[in-house]
Amino acid sequence: MNPELVWLRDDLRLADNPLFHFSSPPASLMCVYVLDERWLEPLAPGLSARRIGAARLSFLWQSLIALRGELLKRGGDLLVRVGDPPAVIAELVASVGVLCVHVRDTAGHDEANDLARLIEKLPASCKLRRCQGGTLFDEQALPFALEDLPGSFSAFRRRMEAQDSTPPAQPTPITLPLWPEKAPRGLPPLNHICDQAAAWRSDSRGEFRFQGGEEAALARLDHYLWHSGAIARYKKTRNGLLGAEFSTRLSPWLATGCLSARQVHDQVRAWELEHGACESSYWVIFELLWREYFHWVARKEKAGLFGPRALPEPPPAFGSWCRGETGVPFIDAGMRELAATGWQSNRVRQNVVSFLVHDLDVDWRLGAAWFEHCLIDFDVASNWGNWGYVAGVGREASRGRYFNVLWQAQHYDAAGDYVSHWLPKLEGLSEGPARHQPWRADATAYPEPCVIPDAWEDTLLPLSTAAGGASRLDASADGSSL
């Protein structure tokens, strides 16, 4: 039957997937996904949480089950294994007699190493077809060599916008080659891998239910563009904190490859043809270019993206931050939303990063590793790239970004609705700044902050007489309470 094998990684879809476009279709085809056993290991010394947390694993499994359904409809199937990806693929090549492995180059140092290790393991009888995809542009379409990638996002964006030739998304294959006779197929039950992931349910306070899979991804894209009208307001709402429509919420599907950037791009352009291009529709593409930038940065920087390899022992302040127990409502609300839903808005992400790195002085790599564990949209390039960017390391290091978290909280959550949504204890305080500075308004309402950075000085409320103990807090303004 001359079997061939598609090794799926961050490309869990059939539409616009170059892995399913063959110059001459194979007689039989295996589609394989390998859950990397390293993702089930602890995050770091002193951090027992696994690299992949329950929320992300649950979303991934939903996506794999949905993909299997789509493959079965077309005459194919899916095999999911847990292990060392190149070793599992090489073993299947040998046991099934695979003649060609199809795989996509992805961002990520481990992923690139996996491919190199597979190449070493493949027998001479088996070919390897490497393709590109997942990004708006393929490497050969970039207007510069990868080593000359512009040093800033702005310079990158200007070069890419000048060329404006994003290729269109490719259609879904209608049928697929048959599954090789006697080849193994199917997924292990999720509870055999992780009980917490099998039982994971997102907290309904998240106000949006993410469901893995290509169909759910397309439904969200369709809704956001064609039914909710939200895209027309994106530029104004994108810094929102509450509700389902302030941003596209496409990130988990883009990260797992249930949806491609080109599919989003095509649909936004189609929307513009019907409704007229506007600042908001431009801004959605602008954000996709951020994704694009970080993907090429990751490919260029390889292991350098992660900073020095070994993570330090986490200090106690890190635990408070992860649990949402810093005493700073905006940070605590954000970290509890992350734990409860596996997702956070971009505005909150930037603030919690800045607080951890610049105010608590904790190593940025611990925070990035925690996000890797929690985020259902974890994407190695976007996560580690954004962390480095806000922490002020790596690219554009000289422009390290400090966010005055208290000012940001009061600006983007003026009434304190977001913080009281996630921290109901604050509902008793009057709407407005008091909910962001409970220690100034009523020290009994909420635990005291673990640090009061000097930068907050001009934003602090006058002390209320109800704020017993606030003067003690002022004494720890240099962060020594940590």
Q: Which amino acids are annotated as binding site for FAD, given as ranges?
A: 234, 247-251, 287-294, 377-379
The tokens describing 277, both together, are 């291009």
Nearer to ligand FAD, 108 or 314 (CB): 108
Residues 321/362, Cβ–Cβ less than 8 Å: yes
Q: How far is CA 370 from CA 72, 109, 374, 410, in A?
A: 36, 18, 6, 26
Residues 444/370, Cβ–Cβ less than 8 Å: no
Binder among 10, 379, 413, 442 for ligand FAD (CB under 6 A): 379
Nearer to ligand FAD, 245 or 332 (CB): 245
132 near ligand FAD, rule: CB under 6 A: no
371 near ligand FAD, rule: CB under 6 A: yes
Minimum CB separation of residue 348 from ligand FAD in Å reads 9
Binder among 17, 58, 248, 320 for ligand FAD (CB under 6 A): 248
The tokens describing 71, both together, are 């493959």
Binding site, by residue number, is 234, 247-251, 287-294, 377-379
63 near ligand FAD, rule: CB under 6 A: no
Minimum CB separation of residue 149 from ligand FAD in Å reads 15
16 near ligand FAD, rule: CB under 6 A: no
Minimum CB separation of residue 243 from ligand FAD in Å reads 11
223 near ligand FAD, rule: CB under 6 A: no
Name the one residue in this structure whose structure tokens are 């090789």: 180
Binder among 260, 267, 345, 408 for ligand FAD (CB under 6 A): 345
386 near ligand FAD, rule: CB under 6 A: yes
The tokens describing 306, both together, are 């992660």
Taking CB under 6 A as the binding criterion, the range among 104-112, 173-181, 344-352, 423-431 that sits at the site for ligand FAD is 344-352
Nearer to ligand FAD, 77 or 332 (CB): 332
Minimum CB separation of residue 33 from ligand FAD in Å reads 19
Site size toward ligand FAD (CB under 6 A) is: 29
Neighbours of 273 (CB within 10 A): 8
Taking CB under 6 A as the binding criterion, the range among 28-36, 177-185, 312-320, 385-393 that sits at the site for ligand FAD is 385-393
| Near ligand FAD in 249-288, by CB under 6 A | 249-251, 254-255, 284, 287-288
Nearer to ligand FAD, 55 or 443 (CB): 55
374 near ligand FAD, rule: CB under 6 A: no
Nearest Cα residue to 7 out of 109, 131, 186? 131
375 near ligand FAD, rule: CB under 6 A: yes
Taking CB under 6 A as the binding criterion, the range among 164-172, 333-341, 381-389, 448-456 that sits at the site for ligand FAD is 381-389
Nearer to ligand FAD, 81 or 109 (CB): 109
353 near ligand FAD, rule: CB under 6 A: yes
Minimum CB separation of residue 268 from ligand FAD in Å reads 10
55 near ligand FAD, rule: CB under 6 A: no
Binder among 170, 172, 211, 346 for ligand FAD (CB under 6 A): 346
Binder among 17, 106, 281, 350 for ligand FAD (CB under 6 A): 350
408 near ligand FAD, rule: CB under 6 A: no
Neighbours of 22 (CB within 10 A): 17
Nearest Cα residue to 408 out of 436, 447, 450? 436
225 near ligand FAD, rule: CB under 6 A: no
Following CA atoms 159, 160, 163, 164 in sequence, which dihedral angle do they give, to the nearest 10 degrees?
Answer: -150
Minimum CB separation of residue 358 from ligand FAD in Å reads 13
Minimum CB separation of residue 218 from ligand FAD in Å reads 14
Binder among 21, 121, 129, 238 for ligand FAD (CB under 6 A): 238
311 near ligand FAD, rule: CB under 6 A: no
Residues that bind ligand FAD (CB under 6 A): 238, 247-251, 254-255, 284, 287-288, 290-291, 294, 345-346, 349-350, 353, 371, 375, 377-379, 382-383, 386-387, 390
